[in-house]
Chain A
């Protein structure tokens, strides 16, 4: 009986609050002029970014410089953590010594195998459709980084390194991505455009598929850079504590 009274009180309060809030919510009737401008111009109009996805047009075209510096902040954070974990050549060799082994119960590892392939496909799809649907380089890259993280959790980091994805390679891929972003931003200067210009320098379509001009390149390189940058940090964070104690000469 006591439970029932409690249940009724909770239900009444929840429904009452929901009713009160719904009565006092007024939907916004007009759009901001800036919003109208973006909606009109992101695909049609004189300032088109040739992308039907207005958010991506804003992020990488209209407000491209803003995004460029945001990306820079993120990558400085990654460089900072890489610097904190800096190891000498012998030490990083030693950090790689170890056998891949199952660290979680068998069903988890079996599911990880299937999920990893799935995550890679999904992340590529998120990143490469950034100019068409919600998503983009950063989102895709974050999804991509989940795949190595799952392998580290299920099979230990040595499994990743045995398969050829060690810290150095991850940093190389990350650098390729960053270089790609910089080159895409600088390309318009070659044809007397301005920095990070999109249209009409980059082709809006290739083989009939809408690319959104430079947006697809930014998304692709950001995808690689974010995914590989996260992976490098995860690989460093998963070095066992005993090894770090040894490197630093800390006694138990």
Chain B
């Protein structure tokens, strides 16, 4: 299973990199070379990519990922304007907060902390699965939210999505 997941992942990349060799599509030689080298890559990385990688081959999951893109971009846009405002006014209240989260596996932690880091103004410093918390640097902590009870004020809807996507 890890072999197949790594193979498909590297073959998609190969196709993305070699698109346009035959009109807008791929020439036969590129497709064959892609199969050979993706197989080599998948063979060498089968022990690295992990046993559970196969769950990302589920097409329903891909649709969920596509649905997540607008959510993430909307969060990033909002945060961009907020940070631009902070830059102009220069009034910030930075600090590190401990954000309790209800996540189970490493994929969920990865999606959650990367989404937080991608949005300007917040930056995940550490993920501690053993205490079920993320440590986040927040550029402008609203008064009274120094110890947030949930991830909602920091990350908006990201936790819900991370739980669904990383399952």
A110 & B49 in contact (Cβ 8 Å cutoff): no
B127 & A114 in contact (Cβ 8 Å cutoff): no
Interface of B toward A, CB cutoff 8 Å: 6, 9-11, 13-14, 17-18, 27-30, 33, 37-38, 40-42, 44-45, 47-50, 53, 90, 106-107, 109-110, 113-114, 124, 126-127, 129
Q: How many residues of A contact B (CB 8 A)?
A: 25
Q: Could you pull out 10 A-B pairs where Cβ atoms are within 8 angstroms?
A: A106-B109, A107-B110, A107-B114, A110-B106, A118-B10, A121-B17, A122-B17, A125-B18, A128-B33, A208-B28
Pick the contact of B48: A105, A129, A151 (CB < 8 A): A151
User: Which residues of A (104-124) have their CB < 8 Å from a CB of B?
Assistant: 105-107, 109-111, 113-114, 116-118, 120-122, 124
Question: In the complex, which residues of chain B have a beta carbon less than 8 angstroms from the beta carbon of A128?
Answer: 33, 37
B42 & A129 in contact (Cβ 8 Å cutoff): no
Smallest Cβ-Cβ distance to A120: which chain B residue: B41
Question: In the complex, which residues of chain A have a beta carbon less than 8 angstroms from the beta carbon of B53?
Answer: 113
Which residue among A110, A114, A117, A163 has the maximum number of chain B CB atoms within 10 Å of its CB?
A117
- A13 within 8 A of partner (CB): no
Smallest Cβ-Cβ distance to B45: which chain A residue: A117
B106 & A107 in contact (Cβ 8 Å cutoff): yes
- A191 within 8 A of partner (CB): no
B55 CB to closest chain A CB, in angstroms? 13
Which residue among A3, A106, A121 has the maximum number of chain B CB atoms within 10 Å of its CB?
A121
**Given A124-B41, A128-B33, A208-B29: A117 in contact with B6 (beta carbons within 8 A):** yes
Question: In the complex, which residues of chain A have a beta carbon less than 8 angstroms from the beta carbon of B9?
Answer: 114, 117-118, 121
Pick the contact of A120: B10, B114, B126 (CB < 8 A): B10
**Given A117-B48, A121-B38, A121-B41: A107 in contact with B10 (beta carbons within 8 A):** no
